[in-house]
Structure formats: structure tokens, C-alpha cells
Amino acid sequence: MDLWSAVILGIVEGITEFLPISSTGHLILAAKLLGCPQTEFLKSFEIVIQLGAIMAVIFLYGKSLILNVEILKRVACAFIPTAIVGFIFYKVIKHFLGNAELVVWSLLLGGVFLIVFELVHRENEHNVKEIARIPYTTAALIGVFQAMAMVPGVSRAAATIIGGLILGVQRKTIVEFSFLLAVPTMLAAAVLDILKSPQPFSSGEWGVLAVGFFTAFGVAIASIKFLLYFIKNHSFIIFGVYRILAAVAFWVFVLR
């Protein structure tokens, strides 16, 4: 992989990590379009650069995550189910990275579900409005929803946000909680992948990782701010439509 591919994939990651359209799925499809060979390094790259996007959360929400013990406890509670599933099924999950057909189907079906959900879902005034007041059982169940996103193309953001909405958390609150929950989730995924890599990265590969990492970090800051602005007056239906169109376009023009 060259540096320009790393920049492009970093941009893709930064834009898609916090939107309900699957960053992992887009990275897999973008890598295929760029002609990047499906090597173990590419799979590691797709995991590690997500950490760059996550660092944008620490940059914007560091005080909330570190200084508010109540928020920290709820994030930890939601992280536990994902950590357990990720550790047990690490090899299976990584095996499916690079499976473009699986990504396309996940994007398509996820898009349909997102549209249907938004059409039938109704929020009420009793929904939880503060992260620090999310019940621990609800936080743990949100973590279970997040674990479903280990299937490439499902979208971690979509799974946690929809899960939170189903469980009675206000839209803006669950979006911000999804941002914070991404921190331990992706940090653990990146560290686990580095430790389990069959061979150490070369100096050139570390350079490519660094370029992708910092590109994703910068773009993700703008993406987070956009999503917080967007949800004030819009549902996620447009993202469901995008997922369907992206899946169909990729199937027709690339996979056929």
C-alpha cells in the first residue's frame, strides 16, 4: 500500500466512523476500488486507523470521559459485552474482513432496516436525556447491540444508536454515548490486533499506518461536529437510502 492510498482510506475512515453507514465496510470497499491487495497488513491497517478517528473523540470529549466518573462507569459497562465477544471471536471476525460480498449485503439490509426503524420509531419526553443517568442494564444492552457490528458492513454507530433509541435513550444522548463508547472499543481492537499480528510491522508499514491514523483523526473531528448538527433536525433515513444505493452501485459496477 502506498501513502496516497493510506490518505484516501484515512479520509474514508474519518468520514464514516461515526455515521451509521459502516466505516469498516467502506474501508473494505474502498481498498478494493484502490486495488490494495487483501493482505494481513491491510486488515490490520483497517483496524488501526479507526483508532485515529477515535482519538478525535478524546480530543473533543476528553473531559467528559475522564473527569465524569458516572459517564466513565456507563461506558465501561457497555464495553464489557463487546470485549467478551471480540476476544472470543477475534479470528472469525478478522477472517471476514475483506469480504466485499458480505459488506454489500450488510449495507443493503442495514439500510432497509434503518429506514423502517425511523419510520416507526417515536421518541417521548421520558427518554433518558443525560449519559450519566443511563441505567447500567441499558448501558450493557447497548454494548450487546454494538457487538453485532463486528459483522463487516453492519456499522458500530448504527448498532449502538438504534439500540439506544430502542432502549429509551434520547437521540442526541445516544449519539454522544456512541462516540464515547467507541474509545475503549477501538482502542482494544487495535491493541489486540497489534499483539496478535503474525509478524511485526516494518518501518515502512508503520509510516503508512501513521499517515492513515492522522488523516482519519483530522477528518473525524469534522465528521463528529457534522453529525451533532445534523441530528438536531433530521432522522437517519437519508443514511439508510445511501446504504442501499451504495450497496447496489458496488454490486453492479464492481462485483458483477
pLDDT tens-digit series, residues 10-33: 999 999 988 999 887 888 888 888
Please, are residues 27 and 219 in contact by the beta-carbon 8 Å criterion?
Answer: no
Percent share of the chain, pLDDT over 90:
45
So what's the pLDDT on residue 251? 87
Query: Cβ contacts of residue 167 below 8 Å, gap of 6+?
Result: 138, 141, 142
Number of other residues whose CB lies within 10 A of the CB of residue 103: 27
Most confident of 64-68, 91-95, 220-224: 220-224
For the cut 70, the answer to whether the pLDDT of residue 198 exceeds it is no
Question: Mean pLDDT across the stretch 232-248?
Answer: 92
pLDDT of the residue at 160: 94
Please, are residues 70 and 132 in contact by the beta-carbon 8 Å criterion? yes
Most confident of 18-27, 183-192, 236-245: 236-245
pLDDT value, residue 250: 85
Examine the pLDDT at 97 and tell me if it is beyond 80. Answer: no
pLDDT score, position 65:
66
Q: Where are the domains of the chain?
A: 3-255
Total residues found in the chain within this entry: 256
pLDDT of residue 98: 63
Percent of the chain clearing pLDDT 70 (strictly above): 93
> Cα–Cα distance between 16 and 18 in angstroms, integer?
6
Report the distance separating Cα 87 and Cα 66, nearest Å. 25
**Element (H or E) spanning 235, and its range?**
none
Q: How far is CA 67 from CA 2, 20, 62, in A?
A: 40, 28, 8
Per-residue pLDDT band for 199 (boundaries 50, 70, 90) equals: low
CB within 8 Å of 118: residues ≥ 6 apart: 235, 236, 237, 240
pLDDT at residue 194 is higher than 90: no
Q: CB-hemisphere CA count at 13 Å for 179?
A: 25
Give the pTM.
Answer: 0.85
Instruction: Examine the pLDDT at 155 and tell me if it is beyond 80.
Output: yes
Mean model confidence pLDDT for the chain:
87
Q: pLDDT category, 218, cuts 50, 70, 90?
A: very high
> What is the model's pLDDT at position 90?
62
pLDDT at 8: 94
